[in-house]
Structure 1
Amino acid sequence: MTTKNTAGPLAGIKVLELGTLIAGPFCARMLAEFGAEVIKVESPDGGDPIRKWRVLKDGTSLWWSVQSRNKKSLTLNMKHAQGREIARKLALEADLIIENYRPGVLEKWELGYEQLKAVDASTIMVRLSGFGQTGPMKDLPGFGAIGESMGGLRYVSGHADRPPVRVGVSIGDSVAALHGVIGAMMALRHRDATGGKRKGEGQMVDVALYESVFNLMESLVPEFDHAGVVRERTGGSLPGIVPSNTYTTRDGENIVIAGNGDAIFKRLMLAMGRIDMAGNPELERNDGRVRHTQMIDDAIQAWCETQDIDSALTVLKAADVPAGKIYSVRDMMTDPQFLARDMFEQHQFADGTPVKLPAVSPKLSATPGHTKWIGPSLGQHNDEILQSLGYTAQAIAAMKQDGVL
């Protein structure tokens, strides 16, 4: 029987987060969810701008409660020499530094990777930026939307006869954050294998948003290089893999049906009553079906128009054909699969108001992640963190008076 370690697999790892909005903070959030101590540095003048994004409660974003859960908030005025001095002390104590400023900003503050490495060769810094730390575009502002566009995702998203569309979340930033987590874990593994903290070899993890998106683009490059094929927008279908598309049932619901495996396709056609198509040798393999994509999609759509969403899903489930309704958050909150997997956590705001948050993913059997507290108030952990660095209560009060905190 496996005994769960509630401290998390990253217990004992100290992370300094120097960043705002999405990519860097999401990267640090995942580390915090699995036990790392994450100290988030914020400007005393309002903190991370994401505190005011989208839907607010009592002036603070509901998004903040997720994006900064388990983090400690420290306010530092980085324009003040003492603020930079404190940040430097924390950086040299940390196992990981995560930052997403434009290249060069940390160097001006004497917090750049090379500057810290000169003091401690085991320094690991995860740097997330629009275009990376090198190249002709490195100094340009690079938000997730730009990374999605340059990395190829926007070009292939939407319908062929309309302009490209965006995914409904900040996918470019989030994908970059996940690359940052992966890079951080590999860098920690290398540091530990070469001597551990203070003795092992640190490194810089250079994550560019556009490259993180580009990394998802499947066969895009070899198809163009070898065959001159430019992947285009195809709406809800998956080009070259048939059938895999979104269809509409008679009650107006959208259903995704992925019948692209050879055996699955045959089961799908039989479930639809299309024995003629199930037995058609031209449709037996994917390359043959690709030549008849429109005919197949038309047949599936015609069948869907005879079914409501529940009956269609029942038929397809019985035939072992992958299919699913397109969920809104309202669907998720009552879905038996989400509930069985404990995908929602109940928490409270400071005033006692209840709030549900998404549960931590991925699920580890022995060292699962968990939420210790939701996003903190601005500067909530100032005294705790500064006292751990040796500052007295009088010194902390003076720094507050001087505008350092």
Structure 2
Amino acid sequence: MEKTMETAQGPLAGLRVLELGQLIAGPFCAQLFGDMGADVIKVEAPGQGDPMRTWGRTGYPLLWSVCARNKRCITANLREKEGQDIVRQLVRQADFVVENFRPGTMEKWGLGYEDLKKENPAIIMIRISGYGQTGPYSKRPGYASVGEAMGGVRYLMGEPDRKPSRAGISLGDTLAGTFATMGALAALHHREKTGEGQVVDAAIYESILAITESLVPEYTVENYTRERSGSYLPAIAPSNIYDCSDGMVILAANQNTVFTRLCEAMGRPGLKDDPRYATHVARGENQAELDNLINDWTRTRTIDEVEAVMIEHAVPVGKVYRARDMLDDPHYVAREALVDLPSERWGTIKMQNAFPKLSATPGSVRWSGPERLGEHTEQVLTDLLDLTPEQIGKLRSSGIV
């Protein structure tokens, strides 16, 4: 079931990532590397490991199998010199180090960038934190929820008559991990030209800020503050969730030509000439009225009926998917968006496949996360650091691994 770096394929095969993070942001970054073929060695604290091993509904810590997939997991006590020495030795054979501790923690352990580049001048250190490595807030603890609020997204999510909502996933963590990966690959390109490593500094709040479109210019130029609007965007119409007799469907027809096709699909071609709906601006000004009109039409039909007629008229349409809707969807199946993996704990586990898809060197999910804490400790310490069984036994007895 398991494969190692030597058998891994993908565009990043041959690269090695040392993951020192925990929970989501750092591990997600390393997961992306692993999906693309890199050899990822995850370092956990002996005796406890990454808290993600136990997170989830009682008895079902399933996110661990996603975050830890394609990784080899070892233990090392980074608070002790012997554990720090293990990391330093591994850094000599690594291309990247990923960490998402509070800024200053790695320096306290003697594992900051200035320390690590003495071991390997070409090392690329990926640092993910709530507020970044610099600035007056840098030393604060920062979870995704706080970064989502500071970055501006949390205020915009939800209905206008109640407190802001959250996305239902750790959006800030995964975005920070994604931007960190992009930065690391840019740093890799620089290293290929110069031989120099560097630090990639990814802040959760800035990762959120990066996707806020024209939020800030709208305020600074026109003194406009975006507010929560629920399931639609103000003045973008029609583009909303509409009721059907057996559920919900999304329609997006705010462009003039598409709106014309929507009117034809509904059997109301004259709506396109109605002054209230004839232009993008007019539809925005009469958004609620237009949404009600469309909803009156959709709620008398099934999802399949609405989807069929909209596809026939080339109007963007989609079901509002839950997990069960994804499993047998023909498009999911055709693109292999989900993959089944053998799992020591679960028998078989289905999860999202590696993405994005590359035509010549595709990534892959080669195994689900190792269940046993320190499962690859002996393998890594023997193969990479040439430690003897006696040396490893001594480290175990002293609590270092």
* TM-score clears 0.5: yes
Q: CA deviation at 1:55?
A: 3.7
Distance (Å, rounded) in 2 between the aligned partners of 1:228 and 1:347: 52
Equivalent residues of 1:6, 1:367 under 8 A apart:
no
Q: Which moved more, 1:170-179 or 1:289-298?
A: 289-298
1:264 aligns with 2:255: no
Equivalent residues of 1:152, 1:214 under 8 A apart:
yes
Distance (Å, rounded) in 1 between the aligned partners of 2:8 and 2:388: 32
Q: Which residue of 1 aligns with 2:357?
A: 363
What pairs up with 1:202-351 in 2 under 5 angstroms? 202-251=197-246, 253-281=247-275, 283-350=277-344
Q: Which residue of 2 aligns with 1:124?
A: 124
Cα-to-partner distance string for 1:338-380 (whole Å, 9 max, x where unaligned): 1111122222222682222221111111111112221012111
Distance (Å, rounded) in 2 between the aligned partners of 1:37 and 1:6: 8
Equivalent residues of 1:6, 1:369 under 8 A apart:
no
Give the letter for the 1:326 counterpart.
V
Q: CA deviation at 1:282?
A: 5.1
Distance (Å, rounded) in 2 between the aligned partners of 1:115 and 1:397: 27
Per the alignment, do residues 130 and 283 of structure 1 end up closer, same or farther by CA in structure 2, a change over 3 Å counting? same
Cα-to-partner distance string for 1:217-270 (whole Å, 9 max, x where unaligned): 01101111111111111111122321111111123x111110111100111112
**TM superposition outliers: structure 1 runs of 4+ over 4 Å:** none
Q: Which residue of 1 aligns with 2:36?
A: 34
Q: Which moved more, 1:297-306 or 1:138-147?
A: 297-306
Give the letter for the 1:297 counterpart.
D
C-alpha RMSD over aligned residues: 1.6
Q: Which residue of 1 aligns with 2:106?
A: 106
Distance (Å, rounded) in 2 between the aligned partners of 1:46 and 1:131: 27
Q: Which residue of 1 aligns with 2:148?
A: 148
Equivalent residues of 1:56, 1:62 under 8 A apart:
no
Per the alignment, do residues 262 and 6 of structure 1 end up closer, same or farther by CA in structure 2, a change over 3 Å counting? farther
Q: Percent identity?
A: 44
Q: Which residue of 1 aligns with 2:394?
A: 398
Distance (Å, rounded) in 2 between the aligned partners of 1:340 and 1:298: 36
Cα-to-partner distance string for 1:87-114 (whole Å, 9 max, x where unaligned): 1111232100110000000001111012
Distance (Å, rounded) in 2 between the aligned partners of 1:74 and 1:121: 24
Equivalent residues of 2:157, 2:165 under 8 A apart:
yes
SS at match of 1:394: helix
Q: CA deviation at 1:285?
A: 2.7
Give the letter for the 1:398 counterpart.
K
Cα-to-partner distance string for 1:183-233 (whole Å, 9 max, x where unaligned): 111000110011xxxxx1111110000000010001101111111111111
Give the letter for the 1:347 counterpart.
L
Cα-to-partner distance string for 1:90-142 (whole Å, 9 max, x where unaligned): 12321001100000000011110122234433221110000000111111110
Give the letter for the 1:367 counterpart.
T
1:173 aligns with 2:173: yes
Per the alignment, do residues 103 and 228 of structure 1 end up closer, same or farther by CA in structure 2, a change over 3 Å counting? same
Q: CA deviation at 1:275?
A: 3.0
What pairs up with 1:79-118 in 2 under 5 angstroms? 79-118=79-118
Equivalent residues of 2:91, 2:119 under 8 A apart:
no
SS at match of 1:283: coil
Q: CA deviation at 1:56?
A: 6.1
Equivalent residues of 2:266, 2:297 under 8 A apart:
yes
Distance (Å, rounded) in 2 between the aligned partners of 1:323 and 1:216: 24
Q: Which runs of 5+ in 2 are unaligned?
A: 1-6
Give the letter for the 2:229 counterpart.
T
SS at match of 2:110: coil
Equivalent residues of 1:313, 1:324 under 8 A apart:
yes
Q: Which runs of 5+ in 1 are unaligned?
A: 195-199
Q: Which moved more, 1:47-56 or 1:184-193?
A: 47-56
Q: Which residue of 2 aligns with 1:375?
A: 369
Q: Which residue of 2 aligns with 1:197?
A: none
Distance (Å, rounded) in 1 between the aligned partners of 2:269 and 2:394: 82
SS at match of 2:160: coil
Q: Which residue of 1 aligns with 2:4?
A: none
Q: Which moved more, 1:279-288 or 1:202-211?
A: 279-288
Q: CA deviation at 1:382?
A: 0.6
Equivalent residues of 1:6, 1:368 under 8 A apart:
no
Distance (Å, rounded) in 2 between the aligned partners of 1:92 and 1:101: 21
Q: Which moved more, 1:42-51 or 1:368-377?
A: 368-377
Q: Which residue of 1 aligns with 2:64?
A: 64
Q: 1:13 aligns with which of 12, 15, 33?
A: 15
Aligned length, in residue pairs: 393
Distance (Å, rounded) in 1 between the aligned partners of 2:70 and 2:58: 20
Distance (Å, rounded) in 1 between the aligned partners of 2:18 and 2:8: 22
Per the alignment, do residues 352 and 66 of structure 1 end up closer, same or farther by CA in structure 2, a change over 3 Å counting? closer
Distance (Å, rounded) in 2 between the aligned partners of 1:81 and 1:121: 21
Distance (Å, rounded) in 1 between the aligned partners of 2:118 and 2:397: 33
Give the letter for the 2:197 counterpart.
G
